[in-house]
Amino acid sequence: MIKIAIDGPGGAGKSTIAKAVAKKLGIVYVDTGALYRTVGYFVKGKGIDPHDRVAVPACLGEISIEVKYENGTQNVYLNGENPGDKIRTPEMSMYASAVSAIPEVRAFLLDTQRDIAKKNSVIMDGRDIGTVILPDAEVKIFMTASAECRAERRYKELLAKGVKANYDDVLREMNERDHNDSTRDVAPTAAAADAVLLDNSNLNFDESVDAVIAIVNEKTRVQK
Ligand code: DC
C-alpha cells in the first residue's frame, strides 16, 4: 500500500495529473475537493450563507456523503444522489472554499478521506493532505504554477466544457480563492515540511505526469 499526497492551489493541474498518475500506477485517485464542493452544493440548496459558522455546522447532520469508485471514476453521492458536474461550476468553487474554512466541515470530512486511504493505495489531492489528512504519506508533493498559468488553464478548461468565462474574472476568482484557502485558521493550503515542491509553470501535461512519477520512484526507492 502506498499513500501519495498532492497539495497545492487551484488550477495547478493537481487533479488531471494525479488522475493520470493513478492510472499508470494502478492505484486509486481521490479528489478531496469534490467533498467540499458537495457540502457547498448542499448548503447552497438550503439557501444558507456558506460563511455562516452557525448555520453551516448545524446542517451537517442532514448530510450523508458516500464516495464510490465506478468504472475508474470517483463519484460522490449526497444523500444517495450524485450531483455530477453541478459541483464543478465557478460558483461552487467559491462555496466549497467558504465552507472549507469552517472547522466542523473539515472534521466532518476527515474520516471519509482517511478511510479511503486505509483501504486502498491512493494518490489524494487537496490542500491539507500531506499536513493533516495523511501526515504519514510516503510521498508528498506540493504542486504549483504561476497565478497567470493556473488561471489560463482553468479558463481553457471552462471554455472546453462550454462554460462562458472571462479570463480576468477567472484570475480574480482564483486569487481570491487561493487567498481564502491559504490564510484560513484551520488546515490552510500549505506544503508539508517533507513535501517536494513541483512548479509546473513551464511543463506540459505529460512532463508534469513524468515529474510526479519520478518523485514517486525516487521517494519509494529511498524508503525500500
Ligand atoms: O480542489 P478543488 O478546487 O476542487 O477544491 C475546492 C475547494 O475546497 C478549495 O477552494 C478549498 C477546499 N479544499 C480544502 O479546503 N481542502 C482540501 N483537501 C480540498 C479542497
- 192 pLDDT above the threshold of 90: yes
Count how many domains the chain has.
1
Q: Domain of 208: which CATH number?
A: 3.40.50.300
Residue 201 in any domain: the answer is: yes
Give domain status of residue 25, yes or no.
yes
74 lines ligand 1 (CB under 6 A): no
Report if residue 105 sits inside a domain: yes
Residue nearest to atom 20 of ligand 1 (CA): 33
Write the residue with the smallest CA distance to atom 10 of ligand 1: 97
- Residue 125: give the domain boundaries: 3-219
Is the pTM higher than 0.85? The answer reads yes
224 belongs to a structural domain = no
Can you give the pLDDT at residue 157? 87
The tens digit of pLDDT for each residue in 18-30 reads 999 999 999 999 9
Nearest CA to ligand 1 atom 2: 33
- Residue whose grid cell is 500531506: 130
Q: Is the CB of 37 under 6 A from ligand 1?
A: yes
Confidence check: pLDDT of 124 > 80: yes
186-208 CB burial, b ≥16 within 10 A, e <16 = ebebbbbeebbebebeebeeeeb
Bigger pLDDT: 5 vs 72: 5
